[in-house]
Amino acid sequence: GQNIDQPTEMTATEGAIVQINCTYQTSGFNGLFWYQQHAGEAPTFLSYNVLDGLEEKGRFSSFLSRSKGYSYLLLKELQMKDSASYLCAPVEVEGNTPLVFGKGTRLSVIA
């Protein structure tokens, strides 16, 4: 089974930087996904980390520490459109298994 923990809500100011943390406990590990979900819409892929370290992709970066069971999503130069839920999904088993999501973090970007 999996235990995934994320903050429920966060608020940040337009133009700022925000870090969304995710800690997890899984029996196995085969990488970790971050998805973004706007209200009433489907989740969209942001990142997939397999190795330790930071992966940067434009304004969004994702960090993974396998030994600590810890990941974070870093959003820079926040825009109003970044207001959404951010879902962390560690992959427990390699192969044809479904993604199991944490409760997600609802980010509100304010002016």
Partner 1 sequence: GAVVSQHPSRVICKSGTSVKIECRSLDFQATTMFWYRQFPKQSLMLMATSNEGSKATYEQGVEKDKFLINHASLTLSTLTVTSAHPEDSSFYICSAREAGLSSYNEQFFGPGTRLTVL
List residues binding partner 1 (CB under 8 A). Answer: 30-31, 33, 40-45, 48, 85, 87, 91, 94-104, 106
Q: Are 46 and 34 in contact (CB under 8 A)?
A: yes
CB of 99 to partner 1, least distance (A): 5
CB of 15 to partner 1, least distance (A): 26
CB of 109 to partner 1, least distance (A): 17
Dihedral in degrees, nearest 10, Cα atoms 15, 89, 94, 68: 80
